Amino acid sequence: NAGVTQTPKFRVLKTGQSMTLLCAQDMNHEYMYWYRQDPGMGLRLIHYSVGEGTTAKGEVPDGYNVSRLKKQNFLLGLESAAPSQTSVYFCASSYFGGLGNEQFFGPGTRLTVL
Amino acid sequence: AQTVTQSQPEMSVQEAETVTLSCTYDTSESDYYLFWYKQPPSRQMILVIRQEAYKQQNATENRFSVNFQKAAKSFSLKISDSQLGDAAMYFCACNTDKLIFGTGTRLQVFP
């Protein structure tokens, strides 16, 4: 099993450009999450999904959109990138949303917005 | 709103020795879980250990154990017999509805 994979691993954008980050999991998990990690801060939740076709806002959703058309994939979109979105983005998944459920993380995508 | 605080940005330990990483949290919820995640240089987060708030017994996973003090809202991680492979960022996290992370502690392990 590959677990949680993320594409791409690195990306450099110019201000105003758009891009989509792809997250895929092969564990048949219901829940999927997108986080961002900035220096000196912990991971912060951007958006999440509780199942195919659903999405919900997390702690820092502004400037991002998401889609979950297939159970195994969770896409994160930046419509008009800003330097403040320079960060490392992590995708995660879990069987369900129970408080004690382990989240399995991908390797991250380092995004730089110039 | 819940918060998680890790007051030690960096810690170091000699190989084979024991080290304790501190974490405090704040929540008004009575039902929650606490976690320690490890982030090695590869960046991929790995679950180290978890603790249910209702359980008084401290969780243990091989060389990793926690000291859960519910009244003090403290959740420290003890790593025994430290190994070079333990070197990483360690994040404490609390889940009452969403998983909230602390800012992390970078652990260095010296031979």
pLDDT for A17 beyond 80 = yes
Q: DSSP states of A26-44 as a string?
A: SS--SEEEEEEE-TTS-EE
Give residue B34's identity as a one-letter amino acid code: L
Residues B26-39 as b or e (16 or more Cβ within 10 Å = b): ebeeeebbbbbbbb
Of B4, B50, B101, the CB nearest to A100: B50
Tokens of B55: 């359980």
Cα–Cα nearest to B36, from B72, B73, B84, B79: B79
Q: Does A69 touch chain B (CB under 8 A)?
A: no
Interchain contact, A43 vs B101, CB within 8 Å? yes
Residue B3's pLDDT is: 94
pLDDT, one tens digit per residue, over B48-89 is 999 999 998 999 999 999 999 999 999 999 999 999 999 999
Cα–Cα nearest to B37, from A37, A66, A32: A37
Residue A98's pLDDT is: 86
Residue A103's pLDDT is: 95
Residue A76's pLDDT is: 98
pLDDT band at B42 (very low <50, low <70, confident <90, very high): confident
Task: Report the alpha-carbon distance of residue A52 to residue A80 in Å, rounded.
Answer: 26
Interchain contact, B50 vs A105, CB within 8 Å? no
Gyration radius of chain A over CA positions = 13
Cross-strand pairs, A25: A4
**Segment (H or E) for A105:** strand A104-105
Taking CB atoms and an 8 Å cutoff, what residues of chain B touch A106? 44
Interchain contact, B91 vs A105, CB within 8 Å? no
Nearest residue of A to residue B40, measured between CA atoms: A107
Residue B101's pLDDT is: 96
User: Rounded mean pLDDT of B23-32?
Assistant: 94
pLDDT, one tens digit per residue, over A62-112 is 999 999 999 999 999 999 999 999 999 999 999 988 888 899 999 999 999
Interchain contact, A106 vs B50, CB within 8 Å? no
pLDDT for A36 beyond 80 = yes
